[in-house]
Amino acid sequence: MASLPPKHPVQQGTADAAGGADAHHHPPKGLLRWVLTTNHKEIGTLYLLFSLLMFLIGGVFALVIRAELFQPGLQLVQPEFFNQMTTMHGLIMVFGAVMPAFVGLANWMVPLQIGAPDMALPRLNNFSFWLLPVAFTLLLSTLFMPGGAPNFGWTFYAPLSTTYAPPSTTFFILSLHIAGISSILGAINIIATILNLRAPGMRMMDMTLFVWTWLITAFLLIAVMPVLAGVVTMMLMDINFGTSFFNAGGGGDPVMFQHLFWFFGHPEVYIMILPAFGIVSVIIPTFARKPLFGYASMVYATASIAILSFMVWAHHMFVVGLPLVAELFFMYSTMLIAVPTGVKVFNWVATLFRGSISYEPAMLFAIAFVILFTIGGFSGLMLAISPADFQYHDTYFVVAHFHYVLVPGAIFSIMAAVYYWLPKWTGHYPHLRLSQWHFWLSVIGVNLTFFPMHFSGLAGMPRRIPDYSLQFADFNMVSSIGAFMFGLSQLLFVVIVFMCARGGEKAPAKTWDGAVDLEWTVPSPAPLHTFETPPQYRPAEADH
């Protein structure tokens, strides 16, 4: 305890208060520097690079799936391996790509946006990052184990994931535990930072929407990751220690697994989208050169979505045979989510209205986010109608829905954030032409991939099948072409990011003329230590 940083470093206004001060002044050289770093910017970079690597690996798995589904019949892989690919694709993208990317952005930008010198708990920060490579090395190693990797889908329904699972499932459980601990520690750190380290004069209602959404997300993480830990521990017991939590033959209950999983799983969905709302709510005002419309209602809408997220989980279970009242309750509560979500979309549109809009790559991705996320929202509303869900459930319509909110939703918001803040991280603007190419190829690719899935789903194609009947052939071919287009254009993204790190047009401290938040008051690239003396916060010209 003695070595922990003092409680209110901001008020003391010294760099040493950020923790491990000596190590910072003489950082170890080479690899060790990255292993031992407690600096929020370096850890943010590590998170983002890790997430990029996982995004590419998860993407390769997706392309294996799309290649197999290019035509009817089994050409490339066998069903066993196909199921491993769908499972690993989902797990890697959710836990390895999207979540760490948002944590990385929070690491970099939350201290800069609230005027803090670092995260509140820098050593914990280092620990929570380095848990991730351990977790995902373990998870990926299951591909080489006898019986193969987990093959029961990222939702791992029991008893397919217990009694009928491959031996590697125990390793999968351990890796989820480790990733879960990492998430909880990261969330604690973010809450501690936001609540304690805001610049003098910055009230909660002065914080940017990105900080707000992350604060709420962190509470969601702390609430639900332990539930996930509980459910996988019960699986562990069923598999290895002869219990029967989910085994009907021993008096257990397979449906209880789904209740527990989705009690974690639905808030998890919002964990992956609330920070995206925050990013877009920061970017759109910058490039519309107009303050965010309805700041307060944006905050309240985010909080309502978070609270509602605990009351809708069983809409993932409309066909398990819930009683009628439960079915009705979850249908109504799910439909209610459309209200705060609608408010957000209307506010973004109202922010654009009578602005002075320019189309930098970050803005392009943010606009695509609003449009395509809203399409995913519409299909979400359709899925909430329980009688209709009896037809949509577990079909490609669902696959289309959640990929619309996750790929042009969460992933596009991350891309937007990267294009928005890269100049602050590297001191250079990303290559404009290439960024525009990346945007247009991504937006066309993503729609080619996922739009036809609405049709194949409505026409009756179940998800998670390695082969399909002939009437779905055209849709699948288009989806596969789109997927390769989207996948390959992400290599361009990698090129752009690394080019930007090495050089390019120099960016000033205030990189974008419409930007107003605190991060734009520090130089570009941001030096290793910023806000060693806390800034006196003055609300921007627009008084939220």
Partner 1 sequence: MRKWHVWMTAGTLLLSGELSLNGKLQAAGWNMPVGVTDISREVHSLHMTIFWICVVIGVVVFGAMFYSLFRYRRSKGAQAAKFHEHTTVEVIWTAIPLLILIGMAVPATATLKKMYDASEADLDVMITGQQWRWQYSYLGEDVNFISSLATPREQISGDQERGENYLLEVDQPLVLPVGKKVRLLMTSDDVIHSWWVPELAVKQDAIPGFVNENWVRINEPGIYRGQCAELCGKDHGFMPVVVQAMEEEEFDAWLAERKSAASEEAAGADREWKLDELMERGEQVYGSICAACHQPNGAGLPPTFPALAGNQALLDDREHHLDTVLNGVAGTPMPGFRTTLSPVELAAVITYERNAWGNDTGDVVQPSEIAEQLAE
Q: Please identify every residue annotated as catalytic.
A: 89, 118, 154, 182-183, 266, 268, 270, 281, 315-316, 341, 344, 463
Query: Shortest distance, CB of residue 103 to partner 1, whole angstroms?
Result: 29
Contact 246, 238 (CB under 8 A): yes
**Does 123 engage in binding with partner 1 (CB under 8 A)?**
no
Tell me the β-bridge partners of 395. 462
Query: Shortest distance, CB of residue 335 to partner 1, whole angstroms?
Result: 5
Sign of the torsion angle spanned by Cα atoms 225, 230, 233, 235: negative
Q: Tell me which of 23, 134, 458, 501 binds partner 1, using CB under 8 A.
A: 458
Q: CB-wise, 4 or 349, nearer to partner 1? A: 349
**Does 72 engage in binding with partner 1 (CB under 8 A)?**
yes
**Does 67 engage in binding with partner 1 (CB under 8 A)?**
no
From 35-43, 49-57, 386-394, 515-523, give the range in contact with partner 1 by CB under 8 A: 386-394
- Site residues for partner 1, window 463-522 (CB under 8 A)? 463-471
User: Could you give the CA distance from residue 261 to residue 263 in angstroms, rounded to a whole number?
Assistant: 5
Contact 212, 172 (CB under 8 A): no
**Does 378 engage in binding with partner 1 (CB under 8 A)?**
yes
User: Could you give the CA distance from residue 151 to residue 142 in angstroms, rounded to a whole number?
Assistant: 11
User: Backbone dihedral region of 322: left (phi > 0), alpha (psi from -120 to 50 degrees) or beta?
Assistant: beta
**Does 291 engage in binding with partner 1 (CB under 8 A)?**
yes
Query: Shortest distance, CB of residue 469 to partner 1, whole angstroms?
Result: 5
- CB burial class (10 A; 0-12, 13-18, 19+) of residue 543? exposed
Q: Which tokens in the block code for residue 369?
A: 């986010």
User: In b/e form, how buried is each residue of 135-145, taking b as 16+ CB within 10 angstroms?
Assistant: bbebbbebeee
From 5-13, 132-140, 184-192, 343-351, give the range in contact with partner 1 by CB under 8 A: 343-351
- Binding letters toward partner 1, positions 393-412, x by CB under 8 A: xxx-----------------
Query: Shortest distance, CB of residue 507 to partner 1, whole angstroms?
Result: 19
Q: CB-wise, 30 or 321, nearer to partner 1? A: 321
User: Backbone dihedral region of 23: left (phi > 0), alpha (psi from -120 to 50 degrees) or beta?
Assistant: alpha
Q: CB-wise, 174 or 473, nearer to partner 1? A: 473
**Does 326 engage in binding with partner 1 (CB under 8 A)?**
no
Contact 172, 139 (CB under 8 A): yes
Q: Which tokens in the block code for residue 92?
A: 């890697």
**Does 60 engage in binding with partner 1 (CB under 8 A)?**
no
- Site residues for partner 1, window 234-263 (CB under 8 A)? 248-249, 252-255
Query: Shortest distance, CB of residue 6 to partner 1, whole angstroms?
Result: 38
Of 216, 211, 221, 240, nearest in space to 179 by CA? 221
CA-to-CA dists, residue 491 to 49, 53, 225, 240, 418, angstroms: 14, 11, 32, 42, 15
**Does 349 engage in binding with partner 1 (CB under 8 A)?**
yes
Q: Tell me which of 118, 268, 327, 519 binds partner 1, using CB under 8 A.
A: 327
Q: Tell me which of 338, 444, 501, 528 binds partner 1, using CB under 8 A.
A: 338
**Does 144 engage in binding with partner 1 (CB under 8 A)?**
no
**Does 386 engage in binding with partner 1 (CB under 8 A)?**
yes
**Does 157 engage in binding with partner 1 (CB under 8 A)?**
yes
Q: Tell me which of 6, 28, 167, 201 binds partner 1, using CB under 8 A.
A: 167
User: Could you give the CA distance from residue 175 to residue 136 in angstroms, rounded to a whole number?
Assistant: 7
